Amino acid sequence: MVLAFVLDERTEAFRTRVAQTIASALPQDIRTQVADQRVDISRTDQATWQSLLNSFGWGGVGIPVEYGGPDWTDEEYFVFSRELGRADAPRPPLYGLKMVAPTLIRFGTAEQITRYLPDIIAGRAFWCQAFSEPNAGSDLAGLSCAANKTGDGYEITGSKVWISEAHHADFTFGLFRTNSAGRKQEGITALVVDMKSPGITVRPLPNYEGTHECNEIFFDQVKVPNSNLIGEEDNGWAVAKFLLGVERFDTAEVPRSIATLRHIRARIVALEKQEYGVEHVRELKVRLARLEIDLRALAAAECRYVLGTPQHVLTGTEPSLLKWLGTELQQDLLELLMDAYGEQAQAGLPAAHSKPDATRPVEGGFAGRAFHRYRTTTIYAGSSEIQKELIARTILGRRS
């Protein structure tokens, strides 16, 4: 088995149960879309899968048991994530469950946790993250979308851009400018905004390959009550740093890269059976071997950070390191996948010409779409350059 880890008897039994449950429960049309590297899975399909996970008691993965999560060990959570990738199953909701929920548990009030977490876990409510702006992307502290204080809350006017899943979202978790005095990291406030509020306009930003994932959000005097304030006013930068740290741990997406590795190997086997271009196939195999070594190293590092290192020993650079190396490796794997399919990889561009269908086999078109779509991974959640700077500042700062 590729990238296998030695598990104790209890964890191996858990892994087997998870694998069997996913295999029997995952609808084939949803599996096909994930295997086809679709990033435009409908809200209905996402909700269906999350509801199924919740029915097994797995809806709150990654959340402490006292807040509705399963009573799992770190090893069981790690194994669960791997099995989702192996089965071509959708990952848990990234923005609501993986990012907003931990942030609410850390900074939110008891009332906010009670109000929002059950619907996130059950797949009844979907979220997006409203951070980036036209002039504030990697330089997030430069954001200017204003939330002006009113008698009973805030009034937001401005815009956000590159907001994934905003067209599906019931709520957005956003950063807004409440004070312009002092350092630019100061005067930022974290707010929850109901996406059905009057004054909100969502405009789609179609991806190059034809899918719809990102959007612009325009706020025109949108009212937000005081009860939607997360943490303290003007202290949203601390909230943002926590949330981005959580996000960067997941953007390495090792399970997805393992699945891509499997697709590449299957394609190479098919080419060998067709006796297609011996030299070309040999080159593909050499590149695959090198990338598999890199992926094994990344997977081992992630395993060590998650399972094998006491929290007090971690330097704080681990999320940035995983994000930087994981996303660049992901792009290299998808480039190899596209090269392995050759001209067939362009068959799915734009995606509108290749609608997902449960009866359609996964063909080469998905490779071209995936390659173009995931060029963005080294930019979002902080570019590779930003991650390197964060790592350098942390390590060199500790040594000085």
Give residue-wise pLDDT tens across range 200-248.
999 999 877 777 889 999 999 999 999 999 999 999 999 998 887 777 6
Residue 399 has pLDDT above 80, yes or no: no
Secondary structure of 209-230 as H, E, C letters: CCCCCEEEEEEEEEEEEHHHEE
Q: When comparing pLDDT for 368 and 104, which is higher?
A: 104
Q: How confident is the model at residue 360 (pLDDT cuts 50, 70, 90)?
A: very low
Q: What percent of the chain has pLDDT over 90?
A: 52
CA–CA distance, 189 with 183 (Å, rounded to integer): 14
At residue 309, the pLDDT reads 59
Q: What are the start-end ranges of the H helices in the chain?
A: 9-25, 28-35, 43-55, 74-86, 101-107, 110-122, 236-251, 254-273, 278-303, 318-341, 365-373, 384-399
Q: How far apart are CA 98 and CA 93, in angstroms?
A: 7
The answer, yes or no, to whether residue 291 has pLDDT greater than 90, is yes
In this prediction, residue 310 carries a pLDDT of 58
Query: Cα separation of 284 and 269, whole Å?
Result: 11
CATH number for the domain formed by residue range(s) 127-234:
2.40.110.10
Boundaries of every domain in the chain: 9-92, 127-234, 252-399
Tell me how far the alpha carbon of residue 25 is from its chain's centroid: 23
Instruction: Classify 252-399 by CATH class.
Output: mainly alpha
